Structure 1
Amino acid sequence: MPTVPQYDGTTDPVDHLETFRAMMLLHGASDGFLCRAFPTTLTGAARDWSSRIKPNSVSNFEDFGDDLVRHFMSSRRPRKTTASLMALRQEDHEPLKTFVCRFNREALQVPNLDPSAAMSALLAGARSNDFRRSVARQNPHSLADLMAGAEEYIAFEETLAALDSNRRRTSEDKNPTKKRRDDKASGREESP
């Protein structure tokens, strides 16, 4: 039998059911086999629940799965919606790259996400007006176009930050007395 992670009742039961069902169907398991094999994937509170099911009371795996989901409903992970994606905002000092990654993780959890809603949510959540202007100039026609534009803008931002850092380092190397003054002002002194 294929290996399926154990389910203890503390995580989303639908995730466990889908993982189990996919593994079993991949191997051509019958409905009866699914019903007999499923309890072997349970542990803890889930196994206790399963052991209380009366013999021959389950007629098919669909009903067995529905019973499990109803019993462990409190462990279900709330599904994300387009509204939750629209409420996502870039934090004050969060780089655009980090925000876009966080946005993408959230967007993957929204079932049947409309691409135009995702585009609107990303633009509304981003703090940078420069980014929004940059995107508007490109006039993306798809979410993929918008993400490509975001990647270009992120690369541009990172290049500017690297150049600025190099300029600062070069300036400090040319003017060591200014660096010492800055260090003293910030409460740090160079060791002799």
Structure 2
Amino acid sequence: MYNGHTDPVEHVSHFNQRMAVHSKNETLMCKVFPSSLGPMMMRWFDGLGAGSIDSFKELNWAFGSRFITCSKVPRPLNAWLSMSMREGETLKTDLDRYWEMFNEIDWDFDNVAIRTFKVGLPAEHDLRKSLIKKPVRSMHQLMDRIDEYKWVEEH
């Protein structure tokens, strides 16, 4: 049951998993979805205008838009990497915070690998300057940029 206090994206994901066998039947998905809502959320659903929703995708969008303030925002990896034990904190408390943060991390390993590679280059290196001026967004882009600079260096 969605209670209005948890992540709506997670709720829809769980609902979709429960309804996986019927996922192609949009009408059924729309009719069953309200059964996953708590009393307050049913008021929202009942307030939707007749004929205002034409597909489960639209219902999903309307639901997510209405309860967006409950969405969990994944934490960046650097938030986890910069954690340290607080003064006077017990090991148990520190570990509880550590693992809670670990589970909330948005795992963007490409970003970490790109940053690590860039920081490892000498500050005056042309490739590093290029990566600062025009950042890459994926490992594929990084490898292409590296290949360009290797080719220039080899010729």
The TM-score bracket by the shorter chain reads 0.5 to 0.7
Instruction: State the alpha-carbon separation in 1 of the partners of residues 30 and 54 from structure 2.
Output: 9
Instruction: State the alpha-carbon separation in 1 of the partners of residues 50 and 59 from structure 2.
Output: 12
Instruction: State the alpha-carbon separation in 2 of the partners of residues 112 and 64 from structure 1.
Output: 29
Unaligned stretches of 5+ residues in structure 2:
113-155
Q: Secondary structure at the match of 2:40?
A: helix
Q: CA RMSD in A?
A: 2.6
Cα deviation for residue 42 of structure 1 reads: 1.1
User: What do the CA deviations read for 1:121-171 (whole angstroms, capped 9, x no partner)?
Assistant: xxxxxxxxxxxxxxxxxxxxxxxxxxxxxxxxxxxxxxxxxxxxxxxxxxx
Instruction: State the alpha-carbon separation in 1 of the partners of residues 44 and 60 from structure 2.
Output: 12
The sequence identity of aligned pairs, in percent, is 20
How many residues end up aligned between the 2 structures? 111
> Partner residue of 1:18?
13
Instruction: State the alpha-carbon separation in 2 of the partners of residues 98 and 8 from structure 1.
Output: 29
Decide which of 72, 76, 90 is 1:77's aligned counterpart: 72
> Partner residue of 1:28?
22
Q: RCO (CA 8 Å, sep 6+): is it higher in 1 or 2?
A: 2
Instruction: State the alpha-carbon separation in 2 of the partners of residues 43 and 88 from structure 1.
Output: 37
So what's the TM-score if we normalise by structure 1?
0.49
So what's the TM-score if we normalise by structure 2?
0.59
Alpha-carbon contact 1:8-1:47 (below 8 Å) kept: no
Greater C-alpha radius of gyration: 1
Unaligned stretches of 5+ residues in structure 1:
1-5, 118-192
Alpha-carbon contact 1:80-1:111 (below 8 Å) kept: yes
Cα deviation for residue 115 of structure 1 reads: 9.2
